[in-house]
Structure formats: C-alpha cells, structure tokens
Amino acid sequence: MTATFTVLTTGYDSLDTRNAHRDGKEKPWHVASTVSLLCDGDTIVVVDPGMVEDRKLILDPLATAGISPEEVTDVVFSHHHPDHTLNAALFPHARAHDVWAAYHNNLWYDRPADGYQLSPSIRLLETPGHTPQDISTVAETTEGTVVLTHAWWSVHGPAEDPTSDDHEGLRASRRKILALKPALVVPGHGDPFVPDENTPV
C-alpha cells in the first residue's frame, strides 16, 4: 500500500515581494506555511499546520478531501517555528510528532525521529540545517517518493537559508533528501516542485 499526498494550502514567506518595506513592527510580515495532507490506510497526517491567513485555508481543503478534523490521526512539525505549528490544535485527536518525540494528550513518547514510521509508507527523517531540530516527512506514493521539508523555502530558493546558522548542516541534509531521488519536494513556503540540477544544495 502507498500513501496519497495532497497540498491543503500553499505557503509564502517573508522574502516574497509582498513583504517589501515591511519591518515586522509597525508593518507586520505576511507568512504562511505550506500545509499538506498524507493518507496511508487508517493513518491521516497533516504536516505543518502553521500560520495561514484564515483557518478555512486548512479546513476547507481538508473537507474537500473528505476528512474531518477529528479524523486526523497525526500532525508533524517540520521544526519549532510558529509559522509551522500555530494551528495544531485544529485536530483534537491527533498525535503530534517532532524531532524529539511523539505527543498525545498528556503522554510524551521519547524516540529517535530518523526512520520513525508513522505508517508503512510514511516515515520521518532528521534533516537539521534551517534549525537544529528539523525533520522531513517522507511518503511513498504511486507517483514516487514525496519529501515534505523545510530544507528549501520554495522552488525559488533562496540557495542560502537567510535564517540558518548551519549552512554546512543544511547542505548535508539537502544531499540526504536528494539521495532519496524524490519525485516531489514540498518546501516550507511554496508549491511542490520536482528537484533537478538547479535545485540548490
């Protein structure tokens, strides 16, 4: 059995032109996460339920996919920035997963993230670089391997992550992801893209 992959909402980030002349104080940034849905049998995963202009941008596409918020079994945080976590509580029954552990109600399950299987076709991969706590979600689909990751902000780069202080680590993580020969990369703040020789490493 393989997983299915659906983008619920496409993110954007502070590097977009819409943020020209915004200083983050008087003029706030516009930021939204790319939020995705993975289904593998009984496992229903929302990846990076973070900042969006309106929660409807997550919930309406989920309803279109025929899934209620109560049916979501798992939520994955690619890392611990609020733009990727803010709306986790939309899914009252979901376990949450990050680099350290899985969390469900008041239970904290320590485990290594690398290779952790959420389901037969969905697993986690440690990919530090944007922050030291980054994980990517790897899904085997009928179209090939899909990797959901903040190792890239979008298909447009930037090649050097402006918020990272570990550029070598990020390059190593990008190589680790590309070694999986993904059919599709789902970046933190943009549309899914097919990696090619122009994909920055």
Interface residues toward Zn ion, by CB under 5 A = 81, 83, 188
Cα 175 to Cα 37: distance, rounded to the nearest angstrom: 25
Tell me whether residue 190 or residue 195 sits nearer to Zn ion (CB atom). Answer: 190
CB of 86 to Zn ion, least distance (A): 11
Tell me whether residue 81 or residue 174 sits nearer to Zn ion (CB atom). Answer: 81
195: left (phi over 0), alpha (psi -120 to 50) or beta: beta
CB of 79 to Zn ion, least distance (A): 5
> Could you say which DSSP state residue 184 is in?
E
CB of 80 to Zn ion, least distance (A): 8
CB of 185 to Zn ion, least distance (A): 15
Starting at the edge strand found earlier in the chain, the sheet holding 184-186 runs 117-119, 122-126, 135-141, 144-148, 184-186
E strand segments, 41-179: 43-47, 74-76, 95-97, 101-104, 107-110, 117-119, 122-126, 135-141, 144-148
Tell me whether residue 121 or residue 164 sits nearer to Zn ion (CB atom). Answer: 164
Cα 159 to Cα 167: distance, rounded to the nearest angstrom: 10
Tell me whether residue 39 or residue 125 sits nearer to Zn ion (CB atom). Answer: 125
Tell me whether residue 49 or residue 188 sits nearer to Zn ion (CB atom). Answer: 188
- Token pair 């969905």: residue: 122
CB of 84 to Zn ion, least distance (A): 6
Nearest residue by C-beta to Zn ion?
81
Cα 163 to Cα 179: distance, rounded to the nearest angstrom: 24
